[in-house]
Amino acid sequence: MSEAINIQLIYALPARQQLIALKVPAGTSVRQAIELSGLLDKHPEIDLTKNKVGIFAKLTKLDAVLRDHDRIEIYRPLLADPKEIRKQRAAAGKVMKKGAGDAETV
């Protein structure tokens, strides 16, 4: 009989997070653990061909073998490019500074 290891899976949604603790056989891959967890049934929007995964915030491959106490994280795609958002905020700040003298005086 193979030794079992304890792992966690986490999938964060905007309003809450799904955390699952599992005991899996030693030698289990990231993909196998995600499939065993039932998370794909609960969250059909997860597509392992598109969603990135990591172990403790470090990107990893689906065929990576897990170690005891690993935490698998399934990442959602970004809704907007962070660089583009910063550019928009910077541009908005410049407009506000230029327009600050438009207040009427009585």
Of the candidates 86, 82, 60, 80, the residue with the CA atom closest to the CA atom of residue 7 = 60
Q: Where are the domains of the chain?
A: 4-78
DSSP letters spanning 91-103: HHHHHHHHGGGG-
Q: Can you give the pLDDT of all 106 residues of the chain as single tens digits?
A: 469 999 999 998 888 899 999 999 999 999 999 999 999 999 999 999 999 999 999 999 999 999 999 999 999 876 666 677 787 788 777 665 555 555 555 5
- Class of 4-78 per CATH? alpha beta
> What is this structure's pTM?
0.71
Q: Which pLDDT score, from 0 to 100, does residue 1 have?
A: 46
β 71-74/58-60 pair status: unpaired
Tell me what pLDDT residue 85 has. 75
